[in-house]
Structure 1
Amino acid sequence: MLIHEYLTKKAPIVAVLLLALFYSCHAPRYVTSADYQRYEINEDTPTTAAGADIAQLITPYKTQVDKEMNTVVATLPQPLIKQKIESTLGNWLADAIADYVENETGRKVDLAICNYGGIRIPMLSAGPLTVGDLYELMPFDNYVVTMELTGSTLKQLLERIKDYGGWPVSGTLRMEVNNDQIEKALIHQEPLSPDKTYFVALSDYLANGGDRLDFLSVLPHDNLNVYYRDALIESAKRQKEIVATIEGRIIFQDQ
């Protein structure tokens, strides 16, 4: 890959991993002075002396990053596709987050969700699933959090999911919509109860009110201090072979 292409496409991942490596291996240091040399990067850079200097500088780090990104965590017998109302990619993602939270907390998850826009690629191809694939799938540093929601608040959340035409939800939910109204909502095959408290897994972005979920931002949540993508990596490693199907988790009767 040309150096300018690498810097354009991979720089964020390089920066994250290099910072992690630096801070894990050294005591805190403080900058007292700095010197730098400016390089202008363009299409001709790889053939210039500056391009050679930059390539020499980043090659050791690129090698280390490539090794990490190419690590295989699971296999996909079939591709996982992103689409609405329900998709194989969305189903696996939500179930994987539920799996991670249950393993970490020892509690049964009543619902795990992800906003549709948070999935940044249209599919995961059949074959080996790598760490790099999951970085592309979830490039943002969103944390997994849990919330205790009353049935009435959870109903508000389901209304938002309905308004968006469906989001990835875990297999614990069965919801039917007709004429823009939620006619049925089952959690663990039981009707949603307004007085019951439900254990929900989601991202800190959503818990803090993102995607018009303002009503969640005033409620407490527990941050598990793990990024969504890292939770997916851990769940994929346990699963080893990933298969997901369309199950009718959300049905729009009038579509």
Structure 2
Amino acid sequence: MRKIHVIGIGAGDPDQLTLQAVRAMRDTDVFFVLDKGEVKADLTRLRRDMLETHLPEGSYRVVEARDPDRDRTAGGSAYVAAVDDWRGARSEICERLIADELAEDGTGAFLVWGDPTLYDSTLAVLDGILERGEVAFTYEVVPGVSSVSSLVARHRTGLNRVGRPVQITTGRRLAEGLPEGVDDVVVMLDAHQTFRRYADQDIDIYWGAYLGTPDEILESGPIAEAGPRIERLRAEARERKGWIMDTYLLRRRPDDA
């Protein structure tokens, strides 16, 4: 029976690899990497650097495939359909890789940014393959240091406050309004800098991009003051690298909670 490791590798800092992750990597014959194209080639290089650092040369293979593009312009009900289409295309690619590149008694692995259980499609993709029944395998999940943990650690703050809830959401959902009864909100996958809608409220923002990498950028403060700085930094970084991955925490001040 084939075996798959789904390994969380942290937000980008090679030192964030856990001992469990390294053990799983050393138990792997073939690593599957979905390449996001030349613009994000440094993400693939970071993965290869981790492998070269922790594994003996010649003890593994790396198989790359082009990650399918997703329609990022879809909104409303079309958004769910666009995600489903993208996951379906991803599932077909991963199924082919496992069937063609991994021996029936071999062990493969997907190296996942951050933590595989938080806003990542790998587990859903593997479940979809198993449901089709064309390729059989078992899989295990190795948790990783998420960008959420990296963000608050780098800002030297906690994720929640005493007796208060915290919510993790997306920029798309934040655009519908701040969650009721929640004063600490972590926002991921926000391509439109939705925090700008709340610049007139007493809310602080803790923002980070390329967390854990040499390109890391941090900014914080009241949205009214830090927001314009973040917009400028974000635009400059995106122009320089061609892509950006950022996360932020919005925190209501106690008097406004």
- Which entry has the higher C-alpha Rg, 1 or 2? 1
TM-score exceeds 0.5: no
TM-score by length of 1: 0.26
